[in-house]
Structure 1
């Protein structure tokens, strides 16, 4: 690992900020690895994605397992997406909407007026409850708390992530008790729980991947949306009045400025070249988004940027299967909390992002206080 790669690994956000404004949109990290964010390069990757390889993440593969759907390629990957994709979109979203309403309502009721609650911690707890119900078919807070603690031990802050990545040397970092509880619950699941639809091969890896991918980035996106609404009270008032189009645009603008995933995985060519699309830098190109550092949801009203400019959920054949579910979840959480509570963020200006792996969330110090609405 050379100096450029080390800087990306150790100080990712400051390193990316130094590249902000570079119109070339490509940076050589080492002889055969490039960081890319120019729309033309990204568009070419998306077009040719079926012919490219998708190397495992050195940070996540020891946690999620080598059998995770995130590392599948070729026919195996295509078959998995055909198998699980329909359960995460279309008419199935109506059923999930009922689940989200129920769990959001319960979690909001647990907020005692006046309490200070870590914003990112609260959204992670809620989104893990939601994906836990969807995947396992039942509520199991004991299991989900154990799963959350296991993740925190590995990814809870940047120091833990780096220690896990560089000192673990790719050795699996499973938790036998968490895995046992997950498998026991999954083997007793009945449709429409996703666990009942999964093939038995690599079941543990698929369960962990669904729980991790199904809550971590959604939680970050939800927390960032609340952060920006707190910074823009007039916008918040319009959304509280029922402007759903503006709410969707606000979520999109939050995903642009604060993408919960900073990178869109790796792509490898037959010659051994590895290309890593940077979501963070692509979203801040002034050529794609005028005045890119300003928070302006109106840029998304009635407009849909090309997928080579705006790709918070990745792209190509690896775009996130749960995108529609995630957007539905964010909308319902924001709407329900604003309707039932008055929300205020504490110290919003000191909000340096926290990385959990390559996922970007508000720091633990960003707390919210809620009061009951009259």
Structure 2
């Protein structure tokens, strides 16, 4: 591993920040591996996505499994997405999301709470209810503990990745609990449509991808609202949408969009983080400005793109809108947002757990 790739692996965000003045919008990490963020290159890459391979993440595949829909290709990938797509339509679950958000807000203490941890618990409850059909707090807590042991610190994540490569990070007891709950779900969300040998990987992938990035995006939106107190998107849906989009631009829930590989072994990694902060694309790229005009193709892709774009995008946006509006309506929010260095949790770029929220009742 050369020095450039080492910096990319060990200090991702500082490394990306050091590249922001590279006008070419691409940099070579090593032989046959490139990091890209120029919008023309990104747009072309996504147009030809069906012709490319999508190698598993060395960080996440030991957790989610090699049969996760995130790594499948070709007709198999298309078939799985068709199975999952109807489950992930936001309007299908609006009443459920409303109920769970209202309950979580009502349970907020007057003492400070970690905003990222709170949004993570809430969004995991929502996707757990969608996948399993019931609330199972014990199961979700076990899933959170398993995930945190592997992703809750960058050092731990890198140690798993580089010191014991090629080994799985499964928990057999947790897997049995997840599979039992999935097979007994009413109505059957996944077990009725997926092969039994793949069910574990798809359940874990849905739980992880269905809450981690949504939680990060929600926390970042509330962070930027706290930093810009003149904004009041509670009653203005267009302003709320623009605020969420600008938060997704400046603080995307994932810094990278997954590897693409050509037939000859060339690996290309799109950088969401750098594409969203490119000075040649965005005026004052580091300024939070919800009034920005529509960006050009390939310049804004917080949920990925091509055939790998997130199938849960609509559900995620529904959750973010609902959580933010409900909090603004029922609580006065104050954050200790002086220092907010992003924390990497696998693919997700979250605010640090130290970002505390004080939520007091509106009179």
Conserved? CA contact 1:158–1:356, under 8 Å: yes
Paired residue secondary structure (1:369): strand
Alignment of 1:46-57 (within 5 A): 46-57=46-57
Runs (4 or more) in structure 1 with deviation over 6 Å come to: none
Other-structure match for 1:315: 305
Other-structure match for 2:258: 265
Other-structure match for 1:157: 153
- Does residue 340 (structure 1) correspond to residue 330 (structure 2)? The answer is yes
How far apart are the structure 2 equivalents of 1:359 and 1:257? 14
- Does residue 295 (structure 1) correspond to residue 291 (structure 2)? The answer is no
Other-structure match for 1:360: 349
How far apart are the structure 2 equivalents of 1:157 and 1:196? 36
Conserved? CA contact 1:186–1:196, under 8 Å: no
- Does residue 121 (structure 1) correspond to residue 117 (structure 2)? The answer is yes
Paired residue secondary structure (2:256): coil
- Does residue 147 (structure 1) correspond to residue 137 (structure 2)? The answer is no
- Does residue 66 (structure 1) correspond to residue 63 (structure 2)? The answer is no
Paired residue secondary structure (1:19): coil
Gaps of 5+ in 1: none
C-alpha displacement of 1:191? 2.5
Conserved? CA contact 2:182–2:188, under 8 Å: no
Equivalent of 1:104 in 101, 105, 121: 101
C-alpha displacement of 1:86? 2.7
Other-structure match for 1:213: 209
Paired residue secondary structure (1:127): helix
Other-structure match for 1:304: 294
How far apart are the structure 2 equivalents of 1:6 and 1:14? 12
How far apart are the structure 1 equivalents of 2:190 and 2:361? 36
Kindly tell me: are residues 345 and 371 of structure 1, through their superposed partners in 2, closer, same or farther at Cα, counting changes over 3 Å? same
Gaps of 5+ in 2: none
C-alpha displacement of 1:194? 4.4
- Does residue 184 (structure 1) correspond to residue 180 (structure 2)? The answer is yes
Conserved? CA contact 1:189–1:196, under 8 Å: no
How far apart are the structure 2 equivalents of 1:172 and 1:81? 24
* TM-score, normalised by the number of residues in structure 2: 0.98
Question: Deviations for 1:42-68, whole angstroms, at most 9, x for unmatched residues?
Answer: 111111100000011000000000111
C-alpha displacement of 1:164? 1.3
How far apart are the structure 2 equivalents of 1:192 and 1:296? 43
Conserved? CA contact 1:256–1:310, under 8 Å: yes
Question: Deviations for 1:310-354, whole angstroms, at most 9, x for unmatched residues?
Answer: 0000000000000011001000000011111111001x1211111
Alignment of 1:15-30 (within 5 A): 15-30=15-30
Q: Which moved more, 1:157-166 or 1:188-197?
A: 188-197
- Does residue 369 (structure 1) correspond to residue 361 (structure 2)? The answer is no
Paired residue secondary structure (2:357): strand
Conserved? CA contact 1:135–1:195, under 8 Å: no
How far apart are the structure 2 equivalents of 1:116 and 1:197? 43
C-alpha displacement of 1:192? 6.1
- Does residue 138 (structure 1) correspond to residue 134 (structure 2)? The answer is yes
* TM-score, normalised by the number of residues in structure 1: 0.95
Other-structure match for 1:75: 75
C-alpha displacement of 1:198? 3.4
Paired residue secondary structure (1:202): helix
Structural RMSD (CA):
1.2
Other-structure match for 1:10: 10
